[in-house]
Amino acid sequence: MSTASRSRFTRSIASAVLLALLIGAPAPAPAAAAPAPVAAPAASAPFTAAQLEAARSLRERCLVDDTGYETLRSLTREVGPRSAGSPGDARAVAWALAKLRELGLKNVHAEPVTVPHWIRGTCSVDVVAPWPQPLAAVALGGSVATPDAGIEAEIVPVTNLDELAKIDSTRIAGKIVFYTGRMARAADGSGYGRAVTVRGRGAAEAAKRGALGVIIRSVGTDRNRLAHTGGMRPEAGDIQIPALAISNPDADLLEDQLASGQPVRLRMRNTSSWADSARSANVVGEIPGRERPREVVVLGAHLDSWDLGQGAHDDGAGVAIMSAAAKLIGEAPQKPRRTVRVVLFANEEFGLSGARTYARDHGAEAEAANHVFGMESDLGAFAPVGLHARVPADRLPAVRAMQDLLAPLGVEYRGNDASGDADVGQIAALGVPVMDLDTDATEYFDYHHTANDTFDKVDPALVRRNVACYAVLAWLAADYAPGFGRMPKGR
């Protein structure tokens, strides 16, 4: 998961407004405040007893099947890190084509995507004064290199972009800005939206004020000496300066040294670079519908990962969960009316080029209209806890009937305010109804974008539960006779 686009973590009004204030963008109108229902729910139940029984049976089957977990084992063992444009990315595409075929999906193919290719080098951050000490650091994705000798300067601590904006620029010029804000742990992941703004725009905003480089406290909730990388959000005209993240314990140390009242000087070095754009691909596979095969329900996840770990939770879990859900739908006694299409998107982390390419290539009016529903798994293999929809109000009874089947798994209904998340959000922007399945994100940001995002952190029981949820939702959405209609275009 990245924040290249507005994600579920900026869904709430409070955080969306905060984000807007921080980055100077207009606050998006919350989807929840959309038009009131124009049609009363149909008097008849949205699903037949046979449909509900088929979905219930599928759910039970998924809860005892480890296809998802074993698919994730395979991806992390046989591919591992797979950042956009890297050799691992190419191996991931080949792996996905073979795996979807092995799982029995049809029409398995790759759709070419051009991706940016940033190459991490090595980096270091050392306190030079008052008390020398090396810090654990990683470059943020897209950071430029320092000069060979590095950059040495005094640091200026600021909490966040809001505080930066209030400081006299003469205090920033020639310095290294140190963003100290700490991400709060929360089951709904809400700390992320607030904290991540400095990762996205911290370097650019500091550069405008003459900073030589920036150091951010990792956007993460753990206290390991493993810094969190992640993409920046470049804009035209940005001055580029090196931007590194340090781990939470290292940020604590810097704050402790600053608390002595003495100036703190750092030396930062970084050798990352940009290569030419590279070829990657969205990998697509389907369980064809039995009646209306041209109409598709999209199950999305992203195939790329950050380079530091194995991309187990982010987003190998989504890849495995959606692939397994499709496989188990394909093995069900009755396939749904419409097609279930798994789309494993290229390059979510560096600007959504896979999802944007998909939306472009499939976005012509007629084909877009055949995209009847979408969902994405990109919040790790944690316990599913909440369901958001974004559907016409008169379809909410169908949503509630779907959620009823997930209630025994601990999933509550949370409102008609889904985003489609980063990748499927690009399809939602075409007017396609979507759902978001929240997981308990309490631990997700301990591992997110770090070397620690590895297979051993994944609980097979929670993978099964996620597979069961998406399989039930996808089967019912694809079999729902009236369909979900359309939503307004745009995000």
User: HSE-up of 385 (CA within 13 Å, CB side)?
Assistant: 13
Annotated active-site residue in 348, 349, 367, 412 = 348
Q: How far is CA 91 from the centre of its chain?
A: 21
Helical residues (DSSP H) of 83-196, grouped into ranges: 87-102, 161-166, 190-195
Residue 70: CB minimum distance to a second copy, A: 11
Q: By C-beta, is 107 or 260 nearer to a second copy?
A: 260
Question: What is the C-alpha to C-alpha distance for residues 482 and 275, in angstroms, rounded to an integer?
Answer: 48
Q: By C-beta, is 51 or 310 nearer to a second copy?
A: 310
Structure-block tokens of residue 379: 């919040």
Residue 454: CB minimum distance to a second copy, A: 4
CA neighbor of 211 nearest in space, from 252, 156, 160, 259: 156
Q: By C-beta, is 411 or 463 nearer to a second copy?
A: 463
Question: What is the C-alpha to C-alpha distance for residues 142 and 331, in angstroms, rounded to an integer?
Answer: 43
Secondary structure of residue 396 in the 3-state scheme: helix
Residue 446: CB minimum distance to a second copy, A: 10
Q: Among this protein's residues, is 60 annotated catalytic?
A: no
CA distances for 144 relative to 78, 149, 200, 420, 451, angstroms: 31, 14, 14, 32, 21
Interface with a second copy (CB under 8 A): 73, 76-81, 87, 130-134, 136, 223-226, 248-249, 252-253, 256-257, 260, 309-310, 450-452, 454-457
Residue 156: CB minimum distance to a second copy, A: 20
Residue 125: CB minimum distance to a second copy, A: 13
Q: Name all contacts of 362-371 with Cβ < 8 Å and 24+ positions apart.
A: 362/427, 363/430, 368/430, 368/431, 368/432, 369/486, 370/294, 370/295, 370/296, 371/296, 371/298, 371/427, 371/430, 371/432
Q: By C-beta, is 48 or 133 nearer to a second copy?
A: 133
Q: By C-beta, is 8 or 457 nearer to a second copy?
A: 457
Q: What is the dihedral of CA 363, 366, 370, 373, to 10 degrees?
A: 50
Catalytic residue numbers read: 348
